[in-house]
Structure 1
Amino acid sequence: MKKTVIALLAGVATASVAATAFAKEGPVPYGMRHLDHVLLIMMENHGYAEIINNPNMPFTNKLANKAGLATNYFAVGHPSLTNYLEVVGGSNFGVLNDHSPDWHNGSCQTNLSTGQPALDQSSYPNICPFRGAGNDAATPAIDTSNLEGNQPGPVININGSASYPAQPTVAKTIAHQIVAKGGTWKTYQESLPPTGADNVNSADGVFSNLNPPTSAGVTDGVVGLYAVKHNPFAYFLDIQNGTHPGLSLGNVASFDGNTGLFADLRKGHVPTFSFIAPNQCNDQHGRSGAGPQCDYDPNDVGTQKGLNPALMYQGDVALERIVGAIKASPSWNEGRNAIVIVWDESDYANAPITNQVALIVDTNDGDHDHDADDSHARKSGRYYTHYSLLKSIEGALGLPCLNHACDATTDTMNDLFDGRK
């Protein structure tokens, strides 16, 4: 992810969030209405104030005004991979960087087993694939240790006052839980090469780190549109190796092709849980070398003033296309379904910018004409985090809570997922 200098946040308390240390899975979260399908779209590196009321994001803001909007929702840590893991697994699994997996290595020591976090420093090795159990990494409110590229620091997590201690953690995700219950899952990763996800760390839809353009006589390098750091399931050894039926890299598809996102939607072949990651131009992350419409924000300080308007608009158009395809799918009106759009984190920014991000929930309650008015518009000012999102999806799908989603301080988002008037 992009890294800009973050100044010292003065006078902010670092009180810990009290957490009940569930070592594996707890009970099914209570109070959530049943869902048949959840389609989660992950966007990148922009805080709440940069998204909401942004004139370069007309579709997103129209949707936020007619569906459910969380106005007090926080990403947990930094950088990107950490948040992706927290959304699908309720833990950072000891990883506080964006490094690629140490593919198929079953003999290395995981960060869970050693209890030593993988910090955001270039000297740290690739990530040992997750397996087993152990302790994850603590998330302090003000992080003064994970600063490479973020000098002079510190890094602000959550809301600048809440924190999470390290706790016993099991190497599982919501995908593992869904398969155990007999459901289906898939992660759609835009610009994945046709050869699939195995050993692929970066790709642009055809070329990848395994098949660089120079091998075909093309001189430009791979434009890293697909990034494995946005594919959290690829970091689990059993998924890398396809150890269990229903859990493999075969569950990873691109947006295009016969098994891609748009083909599945047209056919009405929608799994129980879809994790949708647009590429790094369409998710508002930005990439150098991909053209001015994909350039990084020139001055990301937590407000709209320093943003690249083309990058913001491109992300808005991408969301409109994805959401439109979901609502045009035969599966949208089959059962009770929800689309969730969330940003992984606010980018590293100047204090007092916190890790507040936007989250939108759109259910198919009253939306059978594909053009519903404000019949299920709602806003929630309740305090939520990525762990709340996981706990809510688990409750709605009848799954046990997992890792930090089991914390007593993690609330379900029933007010946003209940789309009735």
Structure 2
Amino acid sequence: MLGRKLAVATVFAAVAALTGAGVAAGARTTAAPPGAAAPAVADAVPRFDHIVVVPFENKDYGDVIGSSAAPYINSLASQGASFTQSFGVTHPSQGNYVALFSGSQQGVTDDSCPKNLTGKANLGSQLIAAGLTFKGYSEGMPSDGFTGCSSSDGAYVRKHNPWVDFDNVPAASNVRYSTFPTDYSQLPTVSFVVPDMCNDMHGMSGCSASIPTGDSWLRDNLDGYAQWAKTHNSLLVVTFDEDNFSSVNQIATVLVGAGVRTGTTSQQINHYNLLRTIEDAYGLTPLGNAASAAPITGIWTTSPSPSPTPSPTGSPSPSPSPSPTGTPAGIVNGGFEYGTFNGWTRTGTTAVADVPHSGAYSGATGATTPTNGDSVLSQTFTAPPGASKLTIWWKGDCRDTVKYAWATVVVKHNTSGTTATPLPRTCIANGGWQQVTDTLTPGHSYTVQLVNHDDNYPGDPSITWFDDLTVS
């Protein structure tokens, strides 16, 4: 056996230096300028850990996008996907909220209160039935679980809070905005955040100019989440219920978060498309008009594929040389909860596996049967402001010795030109989940490589699972 091992090891020493990387199956690429890496665009809606939807009130598209009255929303538009063809479905307000939440206006044609919708399926009831969570956070609401039509000062109105109308959404899902968590990891799967009548741009007596007030409110209250979402597999949706009562009903809609391509998009959408997108993210059956509405596509990105560079030393570790420019801030899909390899490039034998450290999935390299050489998941990212640490969880099942099979984690510090090995070559049979870390510098580019090596000898395969890669 030792003679066989030496022969095989010699072959792999020559081959390992030529490790390549590919885009996940099913992805398509968009055109890029000459010399630039082409971003891959995935049509499937990712599965986010958290989605927060913030609806504002009664403003035309042109009064918001490109307007000096809304500098923060325009800043968000430059950080994510901004829709040039987004529309409300009706007038006045209440029917739009009900449509976005349930896929139908449910016969609601005015703003009268109360509306009592008995036994009607909706996004909240769907999420809860699927074992997920939902909450609506309403600013100015007098108390959690409140079902009245308005607060005494008129700042809160039930017509902007559709989940109260449905008897199958529990009172515990209807809460005050003051309970919105500062630890965003504690958010429910999907949240709606509804500003009060002073801050939702609709305007009410005693409030200052509506668009600047709402824009500042969004910045002061949700920018922390918007920036956090980019590196924590989460999404912020900013939209409007309707325009200012025109027949066109064109509104601003902006999506910012993990794996969202930056730029404008001309896909025509309305509230039903947005609902369909959220439902698709969690494998829910589309409701009502959402069933015939297309989900949002063309904005979900994967990392550019790095160009493999042969190593003159014959090192068995893969040696891609990715460009440090144009890379996402923080890890994309670090928990593999999209159920795909969105954000990752792959070499060798890899799979999305139901062997998670947390959540539903992990990324597996190698297999429970022998594989040939390095199997690698890699991703290039930029450490965002305030980031100082990369955390990775791994679990191995290596049935050989570290001389012939191993797990390793390599982090290339592209900006400084150095390399770290948070997990040196290790071979453990039936191991448990363990954590490794690396130190980051904000603004620097990094490439993380998650590696399983196997020498393809019958009877002693090697597989490694990786999960919960986070930047903090």
Work out whether the TM-score is over 0.5. Answer: yes
Name 2:53's counterpart in structure 1: 40
Name 1:192's counterpart in structure 2: 141
What amino acid does structure 1 have at the position aligned with 2:80? A
> Based on CA coordinates, which of the two structures has the bigger radius of gyration?
2
Q: Does 2:290 match 1:405?
A: yes
Shift of 1:360: 0.1
Name 2:253's counterpart in structure 1: 359
Listed as ranges, the matches of 1:304-323 within 5 Å are: 310-323=209-222
What amino acid does structure 2 have at the position aligned with 1:251? S
Aligned 8 A contact 1:68 1:416 in 2: yes
Change (3 A) 1:419 1:327: farther
What amino acid does structure 1 have at the position aligned with 2:128? V
Aligned 8 A contact 1:47 1:343 in 2: no
Q: Does 2:118 match 1:131?
A: yes
Q: Does 2:254 match 1:254?
A: no
What amino acid does structure 2 have at the position aligned with 1:358? A
Aligned 8 A contact 1:338 1:417 in 2: no
Q: Does 2:181 match 1:201?
A: no
**What is the distance in 2 between the residues matched to 1:99 and 1:93?**
14
* Secondary structure, aligned partner of 1:414: coil
Listed as ranges, the matches of 1:232-243 within 5 Å are: 232-239=162-169
Superposition CA RMSD, Å: 2.0
| 2:64 aligned residue (43, 48, 51) | 51
**What is the distance in 1 between the residues matched to 2:300 and 2:113?**
34
Name 1:272's counterpart in structure 2: 189
Name 2:279's counterpart in structure 1: 394
Listed as ranges, the matches of 1:316-355 within 5 Å are: 316-327=215-226, 333-334=231-232, 336-349=233-246, 353-355=247-249
What amino acid does structure 1 have at the position aligned with 2:93? S
* Secondary structure, aligned partner of 1:314: helix
**What is the distance in 2 between the residues matched to 1:419 and 1:274?**
25
Change (3 A) 1:328 1:254: farther
Shift of 1:177: 0.7
Change (3 A) 1:286 1:395: same
| 2:267 aligned residue (363, 379, 382) | 382
1:234-278 deviation digits (Å, cap 9, x = unpaired): 111233xxxxxxxx122112122xxx11xx133631100001101
Shift of 1:327: 4.0
Aligned 8 A contact 2:94 2:159 in 1: yes
Aligned 8 A contact 2:145 2:173 in 1: no
Give the helix-richer structure, 1 or 2.
1
Q: What residue ranges of structure 2 are gaps of 5+ in the alignment?
A: 1-42, 305-472
Structure 1 consecutive aligned stretches of length 4 or more whose deviation exceeds 6 Å: none
Name 1:80's counterpart in structure 2: 93
Aligned 8 A contact 1:90 1:387 in 2: yes
Aligned residues: 262
What amino acid does structure 2 have at the position aligned with 1:385? N
| 1:177 aligned residue (126, 139, 142) | 126
Name 2:159's counterpart in structure 1: 229
| 2:199 aligned residue (282, 292, 303) | 282
* Secondary structure, aligned partner of 1:316: helix
Aligned 8 A contact 1:197 1:249 in 2: yes
Q: What residue ranges of structure 1 are gaps of 5+ in the alignment?
A: 1-29, 102-126, 133-170, 209-221, 240-247, 294-309, 367-375
Aligned 8 A contact 1:33 1:414 in 2: no
* Secondary structure, aligned partner of 2:186: coil
Aligned 8 A contact 2:51 2:235 in 1: yes
**What is the distance in 2 between the residues matched to 1:382 and 1:100?**
34
1:105-143 deviation digits (Å, cap 9, x = unpaired): xxxxxxxxxxxxxxxxxxxxxx3x1124xxxxxxxxxxx
Q: Percent identity at matched positions?
A: 28
TM-score (norm 2): 0.53
Give the strand-richer structure, 1 or 2.
2
**What is the distance in 2 between the residues matched to 1:41 and 1:418?**
23
Change (3 A) 1:355 1:417: farther
Aligned 8 A contact 2:227 2:257 in 1: no
Shift of 1:178: 0.5
What amino acid does structure 2 have at the position aligned with 1:225? A
Change (3 A) 1:404 1:192: same
1:90-109 deviation digits (Å, cap 9, x = unpaired): 100011111112xxxxxxxx
Change (3 A) 1:56 1:419: farther
Shift of 1:328: 6.3
What amino acid does structure 1 have at the position aligned with 2:131? G
**What is the distance in 1 between the residues matched to 2:75 and 2:239?**
15
Change (3 A) 1:346 1:279: same
* Secondary structure, aligned partner of 1:415: coil
* Secondary structure, aligned partner of 1:346: coil
**What is the distance in 2 between the residues matched to 1:314 and 1:229?**
21
